[in-house]
Chains A and B, each alone.
Chain A
Amino acid sequence: MSLYSSLRWAEAVVAALVLTGVVALVSWATVTRYLGHPNIWVLEVTQVLFAWTCLLAASIAFRRSSHFSVSLLEELLPPKLRGLLRLLQQIVMLVLLVVLGWVGLDFVEVAHRRPLPLTGIRFSWVAVTIPVACMLMGITCIENIVRELRTPIETGSDEETS
């Protein structure tokens, strides 16, 4: 298995486990409260897992290109230019992800000083989801760029000659 596909596999498994964990913990909290023995730490752990669910899921959606967009220009452009537009999209997103990931690391530093009150889990465990998601999506971007550059040479060469 290539590095990229094992990364994708690991991400899918971890994300599924985390989502299942959120559902299980919230159900557990409901039942125990009903029975009169509520778990006081569950809410905190759930919120940490919820952050991971959201951001890992964002990366999965990004890999599947299911983030919602408006394909207005792409439909209008002649087929030759579409590849170029896709390349531009990926590059702009990569830049945004790098900047956000970088700024996100600053916030991780701030968040690391704050322990969650009951469990003592550092808030950086939540904050770090942003740079991690940026990194994962950035890798997908690079993968897409490489694929775009490799696909039918004629598109690219047409561009340069015409």
Chain B
Amino acid sequence: MLLLGILLFVLAVVIGLPISFALLLASAPTFLTGDYLPTSIAVQKMVQVTQSYPLMAIPFFVLAGNIMTESGIARRLVDFSRVLVGWMVGGLAQVSIILSLLMGGIAGSAVADTAMQSRLLGGPMIAKGYSKGFTAGVIAYSSIITATIPPSIGLIVFGFIANVSVGKLLLAGIIPGLILTVALMGYTYLAARKMGYGAEDVELPTWGDVYRSGKAAFWALMFPIILLVGFRFGFFTATEAGAFVIVYALVIGAFVYRDLKWSNLWSALQQSLSDIGMIMLIIIMAAVLGHVIVLEQAPTRLASALAVLSDDPTVTLLLILGFLVVAGMIMEATVNVLLLTPLFLPILQAQGHDPIHFGVLMVTIITMGGNTPPIGVGMFTVCGMLKVSIKDYIKGSTPFLLVMLSAFLFMALVPNVVTWLPNQMMGK
């Protein structure tokens, strides 16, 4: 049934059905012919998605991105970064990476970050001549940093399932997050120089220029900082932070910058609804397909085939991580962590691997899978919002994928970069 499902999925994509409908069609055979499942359970799986509290972060950050765009906050942010890094090549792309690092402290979800930045930075980048594929690539891949910087919902889920210290896991994510940041910025610099992106003002900015545009963008620059402070002092939780960004953007846009009018607000709302509908329908339908994949026991069968392959700890780790890359390409992140952790962790621990090390790698790799074909909510989100074709996306984003895979390989072979910080702070 799964095979028939895959066939239907491909067929639906080829004739040009929306991805959400293709996902629905792919799970239809199992539900319509299943021996025990009442068909209405497919609907229950859909409804259950809309009852997931952490998922609310997605609409929040989408709306925040649109309001910031409509209220002049985004424009000031872009102006300021132009002055600051405009002489540098690839300035706006670097802004996207740094912003993900900062937002990682609040937005626990990579898709929410991708959705917000598509609206906030995607448009300006394309307008400045960045290719669509590159723009989509940098926005999507830099959002993976949010999965490593605390609080990462993925790491918390892993901690519960693997029964390891969540505190240690969260600390362990910090250095990998910084490594990914540096690696992505390095590639962005080289690529942007080669393609001549950014670098519109040849001369270095004067302190006066920096001060003036910095002052104009002050409230825009404060938003990640205020959020970070509000979160650290227990004012709101990771999900609620999203709602707070909206309130902040509304207040600044309407009363400080006075660029936000009722008509802007209305169009921000309508644009957001259209974005939210596109993203959420994909997530809803992917949840149904995820359930089908579980029912057909596909991951269990594959994983047990893999488990017997090697006695060498390093080879086993690399094989399993490779498997995770593939699994991430197909299945949704939380489902992957829930299902695969209990299968792989015992094997690795028996061979002497540290669960903290594995956890950080696993969660990051699985999250990255959301950016890769054939199924990836992050990819569908950025491509749908910026109207980028999959072909352009693959062309523009594959280098980012390769950079990230090299960073993972490094972290896999040198476990200390992951485990050093938590062991220093919390003991072995």
Contact = CB atoms under 8 A, between A and B. Distances in A.
Interface of A: 12, 15-16, 19-20, 22-23, 26-27, 29-30, 34, 43, 46-47, 50-51, 53-62, 64, 66-74, 85, 88-89, 92-93, 96, 100, 103-104, 106-107, 110-111, 126-127, 129-130
Contact of A68 (B19, B270, B280): B19
Nearest to B284: A54
A94 to B, nearest CB: 11
Given A19-B272, A47-B51, A103-B42, A89 B17 contact: yes
B200 interface: no
A12 B12 CA distance: 29
A26 B243 contact: yes
A63 B13 CA distance: 19
A53 B276 contact: yes
Nearest to A34: B235
Interface string B220-246: 000000000000000111011011101
Given A23-B246, A34-B235, A130 B46 contact: yes
Interface in B238-287: 239-240, 242-244, 246-247, 266, 269-270, 272-278, 280-282, 284
A89 B15 contact: yes
Given A30-B235, A74-B16, A61 B269 contact: no
Contacts of B53: 43, 47
A22 B282 CA distance: 21
B358 interface: no
B33 interface: no
B12 to A, nearest CB: 8
B274 A89 contact: no
Interface residues of B, number: 57
B278 A66 contact: yes
Given A50-B50, A130-B43, A59 B269 contact: no
Interface stretch (B20-28, B74-82, B161-169, B361-369): B20-28
Contacts of B19: 67-70
Interface of B: 12-21, 24-25, 38-40, 42-44, 46-47, 49-51, 53, 56, 59-60, 63, 235-237, 239-240, 242-244, 246-247, 266, 269-270, 272-278, 280-282, 284, 380, 383-384, 389-390
Contacts of B21: 67, 92-93, 96
B384 A67 contact: yes
Contacts of B44: 107, 110
B373 to A, nearest CB: 10
A19 B276 CA distance: 10
Nearest to A123: B47
A47 to B, nearest CB: 5
Contacts of A89: 15-17
Given A55-B50, A92-B12, 13 more contacts: A12-B270, A19-B276, A23-B60, A43-B53, A61-B281, A68-B278, A68-B384, A70-B390, A85-B16, A92-B15, A93-B17, A93-B21, A130-B47
Given A30-B240, A68-B18, A126-B50, A19 B59 contact: yes
A96 B24 contact: yes
Nearest to B266: A16
B56 to A, nearest CB: 6
B273 A56 contact: yes
A16 B273 contact: yes
Nearest to B19: A68
Given A30-B235, A64-B274, A93-B17, A54 B280 contact: yes
19 contacts: A16-B270, A23-B246, A26-B240, A29-B240, A30-B236, A51-B51, A64-B274, A67-B277, A67-B278, A68-B18, A68-B278, A69-B13, A69-B16, A70-B14, A89-B16, A92-B21, A96-B25, A107-B43, A126-B51
Most A Cβ at <10 Å: residue of B21, B272, B383 = B21
B18 A100 contact: no
B50 A47 contact: yes
Contacts of A62: 18, 277
Given A100-B24, A127-B47, A61 B273 contact: yes
A22 B15 contact: no
Contacts of A53: 59, 273, 276
A104 B20 CA distance: 17
A126 B281 contact: no
Nearest to A53: B59
Given A43-B53, A71-B389, A103 B18 contact: no
B28 to A, nearest CB: 8
Question: Nearest 3 pairs between A and B by C-beta?
Answer: A57-B277, A61-B277, A68-B384
